[in-house]
Amino acid sequence: MIRMTLGDIADAVGGTLDPFGGDSADTLVSGAVDTDSRLIQPGDVFVAKPGEVTDGHRFVGTAVTAGAALAIVEHRVDAPVSQIVVADAVDALADLAQTVVARVRNRGDLRITGITGSNGKTTTKNLLARILEDEGETVAPRGSFNNEVGAPLTMLRVEEGTRYLVSEFGASGPGEIARLAGLVTPDVGVVLMVGLAHAGGFGGVEATLKAKTELVEAIRPGGVAVLNADDPRVVTMAAVAAARGVEVRWFGRGPGADIRAEEVEVTAAGTTCVVVVDGERMPLRLQVLGEHHVMNALAAITAASVLGVPPAVSMARLETVQIAERWRMQPLGSDRVRIINDAYNASPDSMAAALRTLAQITEPGQRKVAVLGAMSELGEAAGEEHDRIGLLAVRLRIERIVVIGPDARRLYLSAIGEGSWDGEAVFFETPDEAFDYLLTELRDGDRVLVKSSNSAGLRHLGDRLGESFS
């Protein structure tokens, strides 16, 4: 965080300062801000956030022992540290982030990009950050820090010399993206796609469309919306952009895109395509697995071009990226048995894309094995969408379909109904049971996809399989 006085911080968060020891309203603080006491270092600011499982106020003492210079709390805590008492710690976190970003923006050339979409946010964020970090100091979220806590924590990592802030905006309901993006009013807003991810929280895909449009509505006038030309729902956002005086740049695989991809090929070594910009054709060789990551790369290249980075330069930097993120199409195991761990998140679109990638990278004589768990937050569409994935797995001729967990059982039944009834599809209640089965079932030449939503817990199963077959 930038250097601020305790008084300025109290003003920013609308709180009451209770200084400790020799501190006063003029005391300067410049450490990092965090809600996790285990990550606090000397000089940092600890925000005591009440949670569903525990209460951050219980850990103020731990934060002080670690060297915290300030605690932002909802009630005074008996601890030897200056405290600012606020009505709501999460709101205070957002208010402080907004103030910090505004101050840096007013002083320098900070450029802000916001990214949203039903799938691909974290990958695109990482790809764009990789491009921009060679241009200047870049702040981007760690992991999937994209909610009401994670997004402000990322914003608070901005320093005086930060040139680029890349923010990822997720949401589980209407208004959340508007609130988060409104903290920074991005110069560039990237919308990847509108699908069924988290549709249960929004009340359907049309409500999801409205929520994702909130990012375009938050772009500052004169900014640029980077939109997916291949998604009809995203295309409708162009009218919203025009009404706000926001320019539109298109990415995609169709002829209407400003930056598009052709001749896409997927192998076990990565993904290749030809990127076309203003009639110029340039080869791109991504080490990241999966045809769907081509769209994420195009989005990053297009956003970077808006920020002044030539596409050819962006592409050269993207070719150095080995994996998009841990647990996202992450190759593990060995050439003998290759494990692809993609079990951090799942929606119908990303599940289908991962299964198609498995089919594309498996060569003759090798076996396709899909280890699948539930897709969460689909609401009333859950049953139908699990049915659809079961059908797709069979139609892609996946030789072994291993389904785990009661919430995914319908996927298994769908595969059985489609014809995988002679041992091709199996069901297990727990990851441990599936692990024991897979240890004896997997053989040389198998290509294994592990895919589920985070809540299903299969990412750790993927790690165990990767270690076992390394």
- Which residues are annotated binding-site positions for ATP? 117-123
Spatial CA neighbour of 118 closest among 298, 405, 457, 377: 377
Q: Residue 263 and residue 5: Cα distance in Å, rounded? A: 56
Neighbours of 230 (CB within 10 A): 18
Return the sign of the alpha-carbon dihedral for residues 196, 202, 207, 209.
negative
Helices (H), 322-430: 348-361, 382-395, 409-418
Known binding-site residues equal 117-123
Neighbours of 436 (CB within 10 A): 12
Q: How far is CA 419 from CA 13, 26, 294, 449, in A?
A: 60, 72, 33, 20
Residue environment code for 290-302, b if the CB has 16+ CB neighbours within 10 A, otherwise e: bbbbbbbbbbbbb
- Kindly state the tokens that stand for 104: 């840096």
Phi and psi (nearest 5°) for 324? -70, -40
Q: Residue 410 and residue 387: Cα distance in Å, rounded? A: 6
- Kindly state the tokens that stand for 155: 């914003």
Largest CA distance in the chain: 75
Helices (H), 223-347: 232-235, 237-243, 293-306, 311-318
Instruction: Convert 29-78 into a string of H (helix), E (strand) and C (coil).
Output: ECCCEECCHHHCCCCCEEECCECCCCEHHHHHHHHHHCCCCEEEECCCCC
Continuous segment of H or E residues that includes residue 285? strand 280-286
Q: How far is CA 210 from CA 130, 160, 256, in A?
A: 30, 35, 23
Amino acid of residue 84: I
Q: Residue 470 and residue 464: Cα distance in Å, rounded? A: 10
Q: Residue 357 and residue 338: Cα distance in Å, rounded? A: 13
Phi and psi (nearest 5°) for 387? -60, -45
What pairs with residue 280 in β-bridges?
277
Phi and psi (nearest 5°) for 319? -65, -15
**DSSP-assigned letters across all residues of 187-218:** SEEEE----STTHHHHTSHHHHHHHHHHHHHH
